[in-house]
Amino acid sequence: MLPNPVTTKQVSCRSTGAPSDPGVFFALEVVLGQYALKVFAPVVIASVSSTVVCRQLLGDSPAFALPEQTTTSLWEVFAFGLLGVTAALLGKALIESIESVQSRWAKTQVPGWLRPGLAGLAIGGMGIFYPHILSVGYEATNLALTESLTLFMLAA
């Protein structure tokens, strides 16, 4: 939690600058750590304002161009359910691995001022082999949605 309520509200409003409904939930849940009614209205207003400005400047086109999909059998519904369960289990494993790395990293004797540099060096090194991790993610997401990435690259 941020110490100053005004600072908390400002950070929450600024973090929802992405024009989307998920931006509101990101600001409330991740930045604030809770759903507080006193900051809900400013965060929603910030999200709506950013959406209006972005649509005026960039147009009303979607962020991702998806190919048309058709469902040919009801059996696909079970496959989607299995995919959802698999994604949930992988998400849980990801969160646990992040928490494990964070706890082990906190136990090291590396000075606080050196940690961001080491993290940047590690990400930069990975970016040499996997350049799609060095961006915001729109291009990599678009490649994944249009089935342009190999299974190995998706796993990376």
User: Residue 61 CA to chain centroid, in angstroms?
Assistant: 21
CA distances from 140 to 70, 80, 107, 122 (A): 23, 22, 34, 20
pLDDT at residue 83 in the model: 93
pLDDT tens for the chain, 156 residues long, are: 445 555 555 555 555 555 555 666 666 666 666 666 777 777 778 778 877 887 888 787 777 777 787 888 888 999 999 999 999 999 999 999 989 988 998 888 889 889 889 989 999 999 898 887 887 777 778 888 887 777 777 776
The label of the residue with tokens 């509101």 reads 24
Regarding pTM above 0.85, the answer is: no
pLDDT at residue 145 in the model: 81
Domain boundaries, the chain: 5-58, 62-69+103-156
